[in-house]
Structure 1
Amino acid sequence: MRRAEPETRGEILAAATRRFAATGYRGTSLQDIATEVGCSKATVLYHFANKEALLTELMAPAITELQALDAALTGLTGRAAQQTAADGFVDLAVRFRREIALIRGEFPELLRQPEFAHIQRISERLRDALAGNTDRPAAQVAALVLLAGISETCAEFVDMPDAELRPALLALARRALEPVPEHPTQDKET
């Protein structure tokens, strides 16, 4: 089978991005995407097996970076885990804020899809790292609020310059994180 011509595949991805941003992932059909590109639904299906495959390809670079952050957090505890997680997640969210905006409000539903199930586990490990890998409720709450708040803020301020958004988010994260000892005595099991 012949591969998609780069411009057609790119046009489909660009149209999917615009439609997902305008009407949400659930609110967008393959026919909507095909209409925007000016091709048939069959053409879209020739290039992408289904709508999930389109979203998977659009999110692939962000997911790859999230997996790299997850790997960098392995074995870290206490403040080292918090700082690495905060810096890494802020960088990731700022860099991929347009992708975050595409799935805004639909993230919980998307995590139930098999293609994205591993993201839920990574998110939980990231939350634990932001909490310094402790079971302390205040640390866990602060970590969860930061994850949700950083994501939502990045989706809201997609056009804010990185040089303004990143420092504001890092300053907020540093203020919000529950301080933990360098080597916490109540480390979570990973």
Structure 2
Amino acid sequence: MRRAEPETRGEILAAAARRFAATGYRGTSLQDIATAVGCSKATVLYHFANKEALLTELMAPAIAMLQALDDRLTGLTGGAAQRVAAEGFVDLAVRFRREIALLRGEFPELLQQPAFAHIQRMSERLLDAMAGTSDRPAARIAALVLLAGISEGCAEFVDMPDDELRPALLALARRALEPVPDPIHD
């Protein structure tokens, strides 16, 4: 027996998030989402132009927080850039770890979509800040591994309380990052 049409876009978004988590973005069709909600594919398309639009709306709060972090990083160098990048990215990853988990392994492909092109540029600036704006290979490698590790850790420990996960990740970041001189404080 079919359910009534969904009352809100939120119901469709919630179903999309569950399906993306279960079968991945690529492995989920609009029909899968419609079936999970109990409506027609046409109803989903009435609310969202396509699957990319669904993903864009699901990710909008995380993208907004990444943009705010990118704005805070503007003009920072050295240790100041590292501190702001590490704390900001840990906060973002902890807050949006369910979204990270549902897109696990699909980020590189998703970043190629036009709607997410700006995320690639922000990610590159975040990597640069996490490396303390250093061009030393060791600093850039540590920053890259740390960013990937924070994301993976948040996806893996999706049910860990924030007040346990955040301090553990910040302590890891402090140990992993190569100290970079801060021209203002050093």
1:74 matched to which residue of 2?
Answer: 74
Separation of aligned partners in 2, 1:51 and 1:96: 20
Structure 1 alignment gaps of length 5 or more: 185-190
2:166 matched to which residue of 1?
Answer: 166
1:19 matched to which residue of 2?
Answer: 19
Q: Deviations over 1:61-112 (max 9, x none)?
A: 0000000000000000010000000000000000000011111000000000
Q: What percent identity do the matched residue pairs reach?
A: 86
Pairwise CA distance, 1:9: 1.0
1:148 matched to which residue of 2?
Answer: 148
SS of the residue corresponding to residue 104 of structure 1 reads coil
User: What amino acid does structure 1 have at the position aligned with 2:80?
Assistant: A
Separation of aligned partners in 1, 2:92 and 2:8: 28
1:59 matched to which residue of 2?
Answer: 59
Q: TM-score, normalised by structure 2?
A: 0.94
2:42 matched to which residue of 1?
Answer: 42
Number of residue pairs aligned between Structure 1 and Structure 2: 180
1:187 matched to which residue of 2?
Answer: none
1:32 matched to which residue of 2?
Answer: 32
1:97 matched to which residue of 2?
Answer: 97
Separation of aligned partners in 1, 2:137 and 2:175: 17
Within-5 A mapping of 1:113-132: 113-132=113-132
Pairwise CA distance, 1:6: 8.1
Pairwise CA distance, 1:8: 2.9
Q: Deviations over 1:11-65 (max 9, x none)?
A: 1111001000000000000000000111100010000000000000000000000
Q: RMSD of the TM alignment (CA)?
A: 1.3
Separation of aligned partners in 2, 1:138 and 1:36: 47
Runs of 4+ in 1 over 4 A off after TM superposition: none
